Amino acid sequence: MAYPFAHPREVRIVSKHFGDAGARPVDGWVERGGYRAARKALPEMTRDQVIATVEASGLRGRGGAGFPTGLKWKFMPKDDGKPHYLVVNADESEPGTFKDREILRWTPHQLLEGAIIGAYAIRAEHIYIYIRGEFVDVIPVLRRAVVEAYERGFLGEDVLGTGLRIECTIHVGAGAYIAGEETGMLSSLEGRRAEPRMKPPFPAQAGLFGMPTTVNNVESLAAVPHILVNGADWYRQWGTEQSPGTKLFSCCGHLRRPGNYEVAMDFNLKDLVFDLCGGPRPGRRLRAVIPGGSSVPVLTADEIDCPVSYEGLVQAGSMVGSGGLIAMDDSACLVRAVRRMVEFYAHESCGQCTQCREGTAWAARILRRIEEGEGRDSDIPLLLDISENMAGKTICVLSDSAAAPIVSSIQKFEDEYWAHIRRRSCTAVS
């Protein structure tokens, strides 16, 4: 896959070298300015300075929750004498999301550099990269990069001659979406089923093998070297007060130019869809946009004139999530789309929590029945009540994630449901 053009309205920081195979090997990366941040951070900056810079930049976690990265690092204990771990969340499995894969595919050293800096900041002696098992073409690229980093002394016993030891292990996932949830990931790394755990204790208190641990998304870490080299203020020139910097949006669905686009975080969602992605296919009308992966509420075509910032999307009634934008035009049946998503969650629920295990599967069955023209009038209030019973009551938020598209699609596309239930038809235009 190549990136023949960058749209002029993009701000390509993390994605600058997408499509540039020369950036992949360590030499190519160094030629392009790579490992400058690591060289700067490790001997020159104290850990607290690194954390302070990242905190000042306002970088927020790009894995979905949007928690400030610097603050997360700050939560790690200081003189506890225990081993610390950095876990890189490269399990990217959220439907509609394919940005981390591209970071790893084109610029594996960008991630490694961020991870090395992160490990230094949080006193981690070991980095575990948990990569999605289906990324069969990316895994060897990352493996190669880790070997190179060891060879060049960016990893190993004596990182950059500082005497610090940072090891790195790649762990290949076995195909469970729930392993992407941070505590599920820790369970999986420990050799158990990828079952999320109750928080508290938070990973910073008791994470991998019971030790203080930070879990960071690939995109979050990939932004760190740029922030350290250029400074927090430089990063803050984009975006808003609460959502500084840039964000990758993986845009898919009924678009003329689907793909990854990196934009400033105050960029307009409608422009992203219509200008960068080229809008719906010829002769089609845009119907719905899910801006942040299948776990966030759906927006109607009328609701997308808003910034893609964390606060902007919340105000519009949705969330940034992972930045997996799914566009649907008037050929899309919302009931079918939501049924498909809920089936995904039913399939991927780890099965611990009753509400999630049973609720996802039950809702999926109801949705399928509606889609097939066997719906009942009572199904809509029932779906809403099931969703309410599923949300906010479970160990992790997968259950909430399954409820979100149900609730938002009923709120915004109720006609669609009634067409199926009352007329056994569909409002989608074929």
Partner 1 sequence: MTQPAAELVTVTIDGIAVQVPKAMTVIQAAEEAGIVIPRYCYHPAMSSPAQCRMCLVEVKGAPKLVPSCVQRVQDGMEVRTDSPAARKARRAVIEFLLVNHPLDCPICDAAGQCELQDYAFETGQLRTRSVDPKRVLGRDHVTPDVLYFADRCVLCTRCVRFMEEIAREPTLVVVQRGDRATIDTMAGELFEHPFSMNIVDVCPVGALVNEDFLFKPRAWDLDRFPSVCPGCAQGCNITLDTKENRVVRAKPRPHPEVNAFWMCDHGRKLLAGWVPGGERGERLEAPQIRDGDRLVAVSWPQALERAAEGLRQAGGPGRAIVSAAAANESLYALRKVMQALGFAGGAFRVPTGPTAVLEGFPKLQLRAERVPNAVGAALLGFRRSADLFADLRGRRGALLVLGDPLHDAPADFGRDAAFYLYAGSVASPAARNAHVLLPVTTFAEMDGTFTNFEGRVQRFTQALTPPGMARPAWVALSALSSRMGSGAMLDSAAEAFAALAAEFEPFRGMTYETLGFGGRITEAAEGAAAVTSGGK
Ligand X SMILES: Cc1cc2nc3c(=O)[nH]c(=O)nc-3n(C[C@H](O)[C@H](O)[C@H](O)COP(=O)(O)O)c2cc1C
Q: Which residues bind ligand X (CB under 6 A)?
A: 61-65, 67, 69, 89, 91-94, 178, 180-182, 215-217, 220, 396-398
Residue nearest to ligand X (CB): 61
Question: Does 359 participate in binding partner 1 (rule CB under 8 A)?
Answer: yes
Question: Does 398 participate in binding ligand SF4 (rule CB under 6 A)?
Answer: yes
Nearer CB in complex with ligand SF4: 91/113: 91
Question: Does 205 participate in binding partner 1 (rule CB under 8 A)?
Answer: no
Residue 41's Cβ-side half-sphere holds a number of Cα atoms within 13 Å equal to 34
Tokens of 184: 């599920």
Nearer CB in complex with partner 1: 280/405: 405
Query: Helix crossing, 354-371 with 398-412: angle to 10°?
Result: 30
Minimal distance, residue 102 CB to ligand X, in Å:
14
By CB under 6 A, name the one of 142, 185, 298, 356 that touches ligand SF4.
356
Tokens of 106: 């084109």
The span of 37-45, 48-56, 282-290, 392-400 binding ligand SF4 (CB under 6 A) equals 392-400
Stretch 241-260: interaction string toward partner 1, x if CB under 8 A: --------------------
Q: Could you write out the DSSP letters of every residue in 157-190? A: SSGGGSS--BEEEEEE--S-GGGGSHHHHHHHHT
Starting at the edge strand found earlier in the chain, the sheet holding 324-329 runs 259-264, 246-253, 324-329, 286-290, 299-300
Tokens of 70: 């610097």
46 binds, among partner 1, ligand X, ligand SF4, none (CB under 5 to 8 A by kind): none
Question: Does 355 participate in binding partner 1 (rule CB under 8 A)?
Answer: yes
CA gap 109, 40 in Å, rounded: 16
Question: Does 354 participate in binding partner 1 (rule CB under 8 A)?
Answer: yes
Question: Does 42 participate in binding ligand SF4 (rule CB under 6 A)?
Answer: no
Dihedral of alpha carbons 130, 249, 219, 406, sign: negative
By CB under 8 A, name the one of 133, 274, 358, 418 that touches partner 1.
358
By CB under 6 A, name the one of 187, 188, 217, 394 that touches ligand SF4.
394
57 binds, among ligand X, ligand SF4, partner 1, none (CB under 5 to 8 A by kind): none
Nearest to 372 by CA among 413, 335, 337, 328: 335
Starting at the edge strand found earlier in the chain, the sheet holding 213-217 runs 167-172, 124-131, 84-90, 213-217
Would you state the torsion angle of the CA atoms of residues 143, 94, 238, 21, taken in this order, to the nearest 10 degrees? 30
Nearer CB in complex with ligand SF4: 121/341: 341
Question: Does 399 participate in binding ligand SF4 (rule CB under 6 A)?
Answer: yes
Q: Could you write out the DSSP letters of every residue in 313-382? A: HHHHT---TT-EEEEEETT--HHHHHHHHHHHHHHH--S-SHHHHHHHHHHHHHHHHHHTT---TTHHHH
Nearer CB in complex with partner 1: 12/369: 369
How many chain residues bind ligand SF4 (CB under 6 A)?
A: 14
173 binds, among ligand X, partner 1, ligand SF4, none (CB under 5 to 8 A by kind): none
Give whole-number Cα distances, 110 to 30, 128, 322, in Å. Answer: 10, 16, 19
Minimal distance, residue 356 CB to ligand SF4, in Å:
3
Minimal distance, residue 197 CB to ligand X, in Å:
12
Report the number of secondary-structure helices (H) and strands (E) in the chain: 17, 9
By CB under 8 A, name the one of 322, 352, 408, 409 that touches partner 1.
352
Q: Is 303 helix (H, G, I), strand (E, B) or coil?
A: helix
Element (H, E) at 261: strand 259-264
Which residues contact partner 1 (rule: CB under 8 A)? Answer: 176, 178, 193, 198, 346-355, 357-362, 365-366, 369, 376, 378, 382, 389, 392-395
